[in-house]
Structure 1
Amino acid sequence: MNGRTRKLLPFMGMIVAVLTQSGSMVVIKVAMKDGMNKYVMVVYSMALSSIMLLPLAFFIHRTDRPPLTFSSLCSFFLLALFGTSGQIMTYAGIELSSATLASAMLNLIPAFTFVIALIFRMEILNWRHCSSQAKVIGTIVSMAGAFVVIFYKGPPIFKIHSSNSFNTLQFSPQLNWIMGGLLCAGDSLFSAIWYIYQVSVTKKYPAVIVIVFFQVFFIAIQSGVFALIVVRDPSAWELKLDMRLIVIFYQAIAAIGIRYLLQTWCVQRAGPLFCAMFKPVGIIFTVIMGSIFLGEVFNLGSLIGAVIIVVGFYAVQWGKASEQKSHNFDTSSNVVPLLQNKA
């Protein structure tokens, strides 16, 4: 394998990973339009994923993985709780708004991660360094862009075909859009908390596949308990050979399994910063697929807000990259970067 191919493979891997994530946003809404309950969808997808991950968790790290303790299981359960909260929020947010808005909100994760890391003194600001200035300004810009996306829809830019709108909660379209945007932003907030807590968990228990398996397994249990309380209609749990079953398999295999493996491989080959740079590409993919398969309207407010969020995203990433370069001079530093790409 020549050098050009080695450089091209991580690029192609991240494009496929981002494409599967954008496809996930679209198929979630397709399933809900077909009448599938969003909470039941989470349960079935996570349960199937945990079954698929079980052999990997058993065979990989079999000889060198640390012993499972009650403390480790509690840590995995707490990580899963953040994941469950984020999953429920993003599914509800997509139902109320659009797949494009949900994709744009994912770019808030670095900004939220930076703010939470500051609160817990895991990040230190040095106003004399341009890296700290870039992270602060990028965080403010990203959050300003989120407010634009949520509170200003603006006139439509393009729309491929008409789509019958639907809402489980019968609010006005504008209120649904705002609530959906806030829920998707909440998913990014929980993802940021997940990243920060994951740093300490992986230091204590470095067997990554085992951690992922128990997270997905616990998410299936937690979301199942939540769904049993919220979903009163027994028929919502019925599965048939239709679009709903296809969506569950897509979520379990592509959106969780393939995307996670690709992102993990790309991080190992090219680093977390390289992978994070592809995050905004998901907005483009989601806009195109949302327009083709869902007939979603792409509004001026979404365009302006997404551009602002992406500018802030890159500012935070640039600041983090500059900071990491300065830390590389200290060979004894073993700090794990917080702003990694969401798997």
Structure 2
Amino acid sequence: MKSQVKHISPLKLKAKDNRRKNLIMKGMKPYVVVFVIQTIYAIMFLLSKAAFDHGINNFIFVFYRQAVATIFLIPFVFIFEWKLAPPLSLRTFCKIFLLSFFGITMAMDLNGVGLIYTSPTLAAASTNCLPVITFFLALLLRIESLKIKTVAGIAKLVGIVACLGGAATLAFYKGPHLQLLSHHHHLLGYHKQHDQSHSPSGTWIKGCFFLLLSNTFWGLWLVLQAFVLKDYPSKLSFTTLQCFLSSIQSLAIALAIERDIEQWKLGWNVSLLAIAYCGIIVTGVGYYLMTWVIEKKGPVFLAMSTPLALIITILSSIFLFGDIISLGSILGGFMLVVGLYSVLWGKSREQTQKASQDLEQASS
């Protein structure tokens, strides 16, 4: 008996190949998106530093940034959520006002001051503290738990210690300086070489403190945001209202600190570009992409991509600005990354164990 060879038409083979390619592309999409997100934030650090070195006042910069973000987001609220948004009570409004003040206005103001005193590389490195700080704050508020007798609990404790050690290394140790390029660089017609070796140690430590405090406020914002969203679940309206309130708050702070009208004037320079970029790309595009990634792959997947911003910032600082990177910055950044992954691994292991226990209880 002769065996029959099944003939598959070229069209079916092509359709099968296309389906396989589509599945691969669909699986790759979250990885591409997180790379875009971290690139957006790396560019934000670099542009913000260039704008501050160009002469714009940090507090004025935050006001303009938040005002642009508000103007950009308002049309989307009217289109997508105006009729669906729940009524806003006075109590919820006060919560959002305080959340905006500490989590956005103060966090951005302090981050800007820290960036002025340090470098884009250090600012990017400090963001690796954020998930660890968020976990530590959640631990204090008893939202999270730390069981030090388990492997997961030990991993989270090691992560917190590594994060503290990394922050201390960034602040107090510089070590040898690594200058890979000796020639000058220009970015957007602006040139000013940032040499970490000539930064006064007191100023550098002060900048590290402001960056750490900024990330602490951001961590508190992330933890408390979940409670406020239960009262007001419209995410787009919630984000836009925070941007609006933050722009009012930052305007009041900027007016109290800087009353020279000349400082408020904007020209066609890197400061205007940084304001537009932070207001539209970071707030508008960046926030949307983060929401998409969290929905598709979860918050841990997004948090694990945070070190990408540090790598992109270091490379960009060297090749675009000709920055001199210190060994302390690299070691401190490495310790922060180790701390980040240690805490995330511990949390992931605990969640897996809890899911297994729930499954066993359900089946019994």
Tell me if both proteins adopt one fold, taking TM over 0.5 as the criterion. yes
Give the match's secondary structure for 2:178.
Answer: strand
Q: How does 1:13-162 map to 2 (within 5 A)?
A: 13-82=33-102, 83-160=104-181, 161=183
Tell me which stretches of 4 or more aligned residues in structure 1 moved more than 6 Å: none
Please report how far the alpha carbon of residue 127 of structure 1 lies from its aligned counterpart in structure 2 after TM superposition: 2.4
Please report how far the alpha carbon of residue 241 of structure 1 lies from its aligned counterpart in structure 2 after TM superposition: 2.1
**CA distance in 1: counterparts of 2:323 and 2:260, whole angstroms:** 29
Specify which of 298, 304, 321 is matched with residue 271 of structure 1: 298
**CA distance in 2: counterparts of 1:126 and 1:240, whole angstroms:** 55
Are 1:184 and 2:211 matched, yes or no?
yes
Greater shift in the superposed pair: 287-296 or 255-264: 287-296
Please report how far the alpha carbon of residue 293 of structure 1 lies from its aligned counterpart in structure 2 after TM superposition: 2.9
**CA distance in 1: counterparts of 2:265 and 2:35, whole angstroms:** 35
Change (3 A) 1:19 1:178: same
Q: Describe the superposition over 1:110-158 as per-residue Cα deviations: whole angstroms up to 9, x where unpaired.
A: 2212221222211222223222221111011111111001111111122
Asked whether the 8 Å contact 2:169–2:331 carries over to 1, the reply is yes
**CA distance in 2: counterparts of 1:145 and 1:257, whole angstroms:** 31
Specify which of 185, 195, 199 is matched with residue 226 of structure 2: 199
Asked whether the 8 Å contact 1:25–1:99 carries over to 2, the reply is yes
Asked whether the 8 Å contact 2:118–2:204 carries over to 1, the reply is yes
Asked whether the 8 Å contact 1:138–1:313 carries over to 2, the reply is yes
Length-normalised TM-score, structure 1? 0.91
Change (3 A) 1:75 1:270: same
Please report how far the alpha carbon of residue 40 of structure 1 lies from its aligned counterpart in structure 2 after TM superposition: 0.8
**Percent of pairs with identical residues:** 32
Please report how far the alpha carbon of residue 108 of structure 1 lies from its aligned counterpart in structure 2 after TM superposition: 0.8
Specify which of 311, 320, 326 is matched with residue 284 of structure 1: 311
Amino acid at match of 1:266: V
Please report how far the alpha carbon of residue 59 of structure 1 lies from its aligned counterpart in structure 2 after TM superposition: 2.5
Change (3 A) 1:325 1:61: farther
Give the match's secondary structure for 2:122.
Answer: helix
Change (3 A) 1:87 1:257: same
Q: Describe the superposition over 1:28-70 as per-residue Cα deviations: whole angstroms up to 9, x where unpaired.
A: 1111121111111111111010011112222323443321111
**CA distance in 2: counterparts of 1:109 and 1:145, whole angstroms:** 13
Asked whether the 8 Å contact 1:10–1:266 carries over to 2, the reply is yes
Amino acid at match of 2:281: A
**CA distance in 2: counterparts of 1:243 and 1:22, whole angstroms:** 16
Q: Describe the superposition over 1:233-290 as per-residue Cα deviations: whole angstroms up to 9, x where unpaired.
A: 2101001222221111111111221111111111111111111111011111111112
**CA distance in 1: counterparts of 2:58 and 2:124, whole angstroms:** 17
Please report how far the alpha carbon of residue 164 of structure 1 lies from its aligned counterpart in structure 2 after TM superposition: 4.2
Give aligned pairs, total. Answer: 328
Amino acid at match of 2:343: V
Per the alignment, residue 9 of structure 2 pairs with none
**CA distance in 2: counterparts of 1:173 and 1:124, whole angstroms:** 40
**CA distance in 1: counterparts of 2:338 and 2:301, whole angstroms:** 16
Change (3 A) 1:269 1:165: closer
Specify which of 233, 256, 262 is matched with residue 235 of structure 1: 262
Amino acid at match of 1:234: I
The unaligned stretches of length 5 or more in structure 2 are: 1-18, 185-191, 360-364
Greater shift in the superposed pair: 321-330 or 300-309: 321-330
Specify which of 327, 334, 337 is matched with residue 354 of structure 2: 327
Change (3 A) 1:166 1:284: closer
**CA distance in 2: counterparts of 1:117 and 1:228, whole angstroms:** 35
Please report how far the alpha carbon of residue 172 of structure 1 lies from its aligned counterpart in structure 2 after TM superposition: 6.1
**CA distance in 2: counterparts of 1:94 and 1:10, whole angstroms:** 30
Per the alignment, residue 338 of structure 1 pairs with none
Specify which of 334, 347, 350 is matched with residue 307 of structure 1: 334
Q: How does 1:154-173 map to 2 (within 5 A)?
A: 154-160=175-181, 161=183, 163-165=192-194, 173=200
Specify which of 246, 249, 252 is matched with residue 225 of structure 1: 252
**CA distance in 2: counterparts of 1:155 and 1:303, whole angstroms:** 11
Asked whether the 8 Å contact 1:57–1:210 carries over to 2, the reply is yes
Asked whether the 8 Å contact 1:50–1:217 carries over to 2, the reply is yes
**CA distance in 1: counterparts of 2:212 and 2:73, whole angstroms:** 28
Give the match's secondary structure for 2:112.
Answer: helix
**CA distance in 1: counterparts of 2:326 and 2:45, whole angstroms:** 18
RMSD over aligned CA atoms reads: 1.9
**CA distance in 2: counterparts of 1:176 and 1:286, whole angstroms:** 21
- Which structure has the bigger radius of gyration? 2
Greater shift in the superposed pair: 6-15 or 115-124: 115-124
Asked whether the 8 Å contact 2:194–2:321 carries over to 1, the reply is no
